Amino acid sequence: MEDENSQQAGKKETSWEREALERLAREALTEQRRARRWGIFFKALFLLYLFALLAIYLPQEWRQATPMLEKHTSLVDVDGVITAHGEASADNIVKGLRRAFEDDNTAGIVLRLNSPGGSPVQSGQVHDEIRRLRKEHPDIPLYAAITDVCASGCYYIAAAADRIFADKASIVGSIGVRMDGFGFVEAIDKLGIERRLLTAGPYKGLLDPFLPEDPVVKSHLKGMLEAIHRQFIDAVKQGRGERLADDPELFTGLVWTGEQALELGLVDELASPGRVAREVIKAEKVVDYTRRRNYLDRFSRRFGSALIEALRSGPVLR
């Protein structure tokens, strides 16, 4: 009897141990599966992070549209203030234009314009490069298509195109040059502030806002602005030729609607960029060759550009 009880007790003890081991095994297996799922999740998250970094830091040329194997319209945007450190810099615009011209399947190029103007140097460089590229690729037409605004330095660029298109409500013109500044001479006198400036050269501080305006300096700067204005006028006349109306206000810095600009010969026709691609170039498929910076680069450069714009005092085509 005692032996039977001992055997039963042994069986119960063995059964309990077996159940405990099975529970431990199941829990270990569950934990292993859970750990595997979390491992997969974190690996996927890490891969997404790598792809995001790759998208941000990948060289611009790799991320641009791949040329199509059929005839198409190539698009290059000029959007925003034209500055050396902004999106609409000569470097960005020219690189986009070169790639568009070098594509054997480019039927024509649309230069889509929406800019109030900016640096005369940057605008002039783009203008000159367009003229060079047109001579190098005479079979590829380049059309400027204005959306909202094409003023000053932007029109300097547009004048190099074969033809210029605009919307009837577009703002076009502002063929002039300006230089901005401030004068705080009376303000610092009233506040009892003494201005101390050391220079080597009598006109080295010519744009100092705390000094009285010097008539010699003013005359010199005026002559400089007029010289740049003449360069601008010559570029427009060279590009537009006999299409320009004989109007004394054409080069005064005034702006006009697209409809008025058509009458003045500043534009050739009223049409959207899409219509130019579809009906003028006759290639509805569009490949965008605009050179765009990654998001981090855009933010840092826009911040720097805004700071430079706030501090600049040089001539501006705007």
Residues 46, 158 within the same domain = no
What are the b/e assignments for 138-152, b being 16+ CB within 10 Å? eebbbbbbbbebbbb
All residues at 6 or more sequence positions from 85 whose CB lies less than 8 Å from its CB, including other chains? 301, 304, 305, 308
pLDDT of residue 188: 75
How far is residue 4's CA from residue 94's CA, in Å, rounded to a whole number? 99
Query: How far out from the chain centre does Cα 209 lie?
Result: 32
Residues 304, 222 within the same domain = yes
All residues at 6 or more sequence positions from 180 whose CB lies less than 8 Å from its CB, including other chains? 312, 313, 316
Mean pLDDT of successive 10-residue segments in the chain (318 residues)?
A: 53 64 72 71 67 53 55 96 94 96 96 96 97 97 98 97 98 92 77 82 83 87 94 96 95 97 97 96 95 59 49 54
Q: How many domains does the chain have?
A: 2
3-class DSSP state of 245 = coil
Residues 99, 36 within the same domain = no
Distances (CA, A) of 222 to 96, 210, 216, 218: 35, 20, 10, 6
How many residues are recorded in the chain? 318
Strand partners, 75: 110, 288
pLDDT of residue 308: 47
Residues 112, 41 within the same domain = no
Residues 99, 196 within the same domain = yes
pLDDT of residue 62: 40
All residues at 6 or more sequence positions from 80 whose CB lies less than 8 Å from its CB, including other chains? 86, 87, 88, 114, 115
- Which pair of structure tokens corresponds to residue 96? 């986009």
Residues 73, 50 within the same domain = no
What is the domain range of residue 20?
A: 1-57
Question: What is the CATH number for 86?
Answer: 3.90.226.10
pTM of the entire structure?
0.73
Residues 232, 248 within the same domain = yes
pLDDT of residue 180: 82
Residues 183, 43 within the same domain = no
- Which pair of structure tokens corresponds to residue 161? 């195109």
Residues 25, 71 within the same domain = no
Residues 53, 70 within the same domain = no
Residues 225, 89 within the same domain = yes
Q: Let me know: does 282 contact 107? Beta carbons within 8 Å.
A: yes
- Which pair of structure tokens corresponds to residue 153? 């330095």
pLDDT of residue 8: 54
Give the residue from 57, 86, 104 where a domain finishes: 57
Residues 158, 223 within the same domain = yes
- Which pair of structure tokens corresponds to residue 314? 């040089």
